[in-house]
Amino acid sequence: MTVLPLDPAANRTPAALRAFLDGCQAAAVRAGRAQLVSISLGVDPLDPLAVLESIFEPGERHFYAERPDEGLAVAGAEAVLSFSASGPGRFAACQRFIDETLDNTLAVGDLAAPFAGPHFFAAFSFADTVGPGEPFEAAGVFVPRWQVGRVGDRTVAVANFLVDAGSPVEALATRVWRAHATFGAFDYSAPDFGGTPPAGSAAVSEPGDGPGYREAVRRTLADIACGRVEKVVLARVKDLAARGAFHPLRVLNGLRQRFTDCHAFSLANGRGQSFIGASPERLLRVRGGEILTEAQAGSIRRGASASEDAALAGALLRDEKELREHRLVSGSIAESLSSLGIRPEAPSRPSVRRLANVQHLLTPIQGRLPGGVRLLDVLARLHPTPAVGGTPREAAIAAIAERESFPRGLYAGATGWINARGEGEFFVALRSALIDGARARLYAGAGIVAGSDPEREFAETEIKFRAMQEALVA
């Protein structure tokens, strides 16, 4: 990426913008190919979700992610560049796309600011491939035309666009000027969520039935007893049908308020479908050469009182079945990191993470990223972790394909972003739903290990369903 010595804030005039774009067009002519131009500008504090609500179009791609307890949120809409891939090499193919794009990028602004510069928003499905007609690709990456990111009280607005020899520079300059003027004095008008179904109006059905899930658990326990696998995560789906269309951003508002310690997210494919959720699990963060991931496996419900809650947390920390499941996940993650030359560091014992509706065993794992190893290299090695797939990985994934009667798609996949410095963050797409007009498909899973009980695992998935179901019909 070429960073040009121009301060957009100090040269904020139509004439300066036009002169800058003329220079970008000359650079495109010299290079013999289009250049991605990225302009970053610090603006007054904005709520990225409010910005996305104001520019939401069902026929455009968008990405939104927020971690309220960390004061972090980012939204990007409309795709100026996009790429998709499939198969075992999908992570490497996406990295090549990112590298080639950055080789032909011209950027201005304070690129050291959080969420400045071009960002690549990405989603990887649970499996390497997806079937025909699936709403999302096995690997999809896009650069948004407009992006707003906030960390704490600092907000950066970014405009990205392509310039080539034939680009209408005057029209581009006008469009960018108007956009930055809008971000500089944003009007928080009420969003139009027309068509949102009223509370309680959605009919709920489940492909297959509950006994089918319990039988799948029993068959998996037999495989574990025979030594074929150690752990398999089996999921269920529920389908909701409403009288009116679900609006993904209305649902997202409820999720961000209820699950402040989760990644609330929305990813739209530009063809009318959105994948939304509130993920409790960070898969990978890379910042300043340091990586952070976590093992989160082993669950128990929340208590009705502080005393019951504490008693349940203590029981979770002593439950040998839950601890064994957790060790399988943390050990696998450490092994994957070590294979890349990363020395994992982690506490010797897990802690308990309390969410609004469930408690989990949690072990944070960190390390230093070696030279030549990049974020997507680590992601390719980690995904899917035993927390969402199982172990051994290949045998567990085969069991999932055999016993789940539905495609997972992005459920339990990896979703997040990468910036121009190779830093970024990905989370596991859990506690999630696929929204398609008046229909929504909800996903929830549970880890099956030796000692699992079919009724208990079924009950765990019911708890996990409840949060998204309540958000959809509230």
pLDDT at 199 over 70: no
Catalytic residue among 78, 137, 230, 281: 281
210 and 174 in one domain? no
Instruction: Identify whether 191 is part of a domain.
Output: no
Task: Enumerate the H helices of 8-119 as residue ranges.
Answer: 14-31, 48-55, 90-103
21 close to 97: Cβ distance less than 8 angstroms:
no
Mark which of 184, 215, 250 sits at the end of a domain. 184
Q: How confident is the model at residue 470 (pLDDT cuts 50, 70, 90)?
A: confident
DSSP string, 432-463: EEEEETTEEEEEEEEEE-TT--HHHHHHHHHH
358 and 255 in one domain? yes
| pLDDT tens, residue by residue, 386-395 | 999 999 999 9
Comparing CA positions, the residue from 47, 44, 43, 24 lying closest to residue 34 is 24
Q: How confident is the model at residue 11 (pLDDT cuts 50, 70, 90)?
A: low
Active site residue 231: yes
Phi, psi angles (nearest 5°) of residue 130: -125, 155
pLDDT of amino acid 48: 92
Instruction: Identify whether 381 is part of a domain.
Output: yes
Instruction: Identify whether 198 is part of a domain.
Output: no
Instruction: Identify whether 208 is part of a domain.
Output: yes
Q: How confident is the model at residue 186 (pLDDT cuts 50, 70, 90)?
A: low
215 and 84 in one domain? no
269 and 321 in one domain? yes
Query: What is the distance between the alpha carbons of residues 377 and 379, in angstroms, rounded to a whole number?
Result: 5
**CATH code: domain of residue 457:** 3.60.120.10
Catalytic residue among 137, 230, 231, 460: 231
49 close to 253: Cβ distance less than 8 angstroms:
yes
298 and 172 in one domain? no
Domain hosting residue 423, numbered range: 203-473
Phi, psi angles (nearest 5°) of residue 122: -140, 150
> When comparing pLDDT for 309 and 472, which is higher?
309
pLDDT of amino acid 19: 87
Active site residue 78: no
| Helix 320-338 / helix 375-382 crossing angle, nearest 10 deg | 140
The DSSP symbol for 137 reads -
pLDDT at 474 over 80: no
| pLDDT tens, residue by residue, 212-242 | 999 999 999 999 999 999 999 999 999 999 8
Task: Enumerate the H helices of 261-389 as residue ranges.
Answer: 306-318, 320-338, 375-382
Phi, psi angles (nearest 5°) of residue 82: -150, 160
What does the block give as tokens for 330? 């943390």
> When comparing pLDDT for 307 and 355, which is higher?
307
431 and 316 in one domain? yes
Q: What is the mean pLDDT of residues 7-15?
A: 72
Comparing CA positions, the residue from 149, 138, 124 lying closest to residue 74 is 149
284 and 233 in one domain? yes
358 and 272 in one domain? yes
161 and 261 in one domain? no
240 and 173 in one domain? no
Instruction: Identify whether 197 is part of a domain.
Output: no
Query: What is the distance between the alpha carbons of residues 77 and 59, in angstroms, rounded to a whole number?
Result: 11
Q: In angstroms, how far is the first alpha carbon of the chain from the final one? A: 46
Instruction: Identify whether 189 is part of a domain.
Output: no
239 and 154 in one domain? no
Instruction: Identify whether 70 is part of a domain.
Output: yes
| pLDDT tens, residue by residue, 404-446 | 999 999 999 999 999 999 999 999 999 999 999 999 999 999 9
| pLDDT tens, residue by residue, 266-275 | 999 999 999 9
pLDDT at 346 over 70: yes
Instruction: Identify whether 97 is part of a domain.
Output: yes
| Helix 90-103 / helix 375-382 crossing angle, nearest 10 deg | 170
305 and 208 in one domain? yes
Mark which of 149, 184, 219 sits at the end of a domain. 184
Output the average pLDDT for the chain: 91
pLDDT of amino acid 15: 82
pLDDT of amino acid 200: 55
pLDDT at 141 over 70: yes
pLDDT at 81 over 70: yes
Q: For the chain, how many structural domains are there in total?
A: 2
Share of the chain above pLDDT 70, in %: 94
Q: How confident is the model at residue 210 (pLDDT cuts 50, 70, 90)?
A: low
Report for 155-159, 168-172, 376-380, 458-462: range of highest mean pLDDT = 376-380
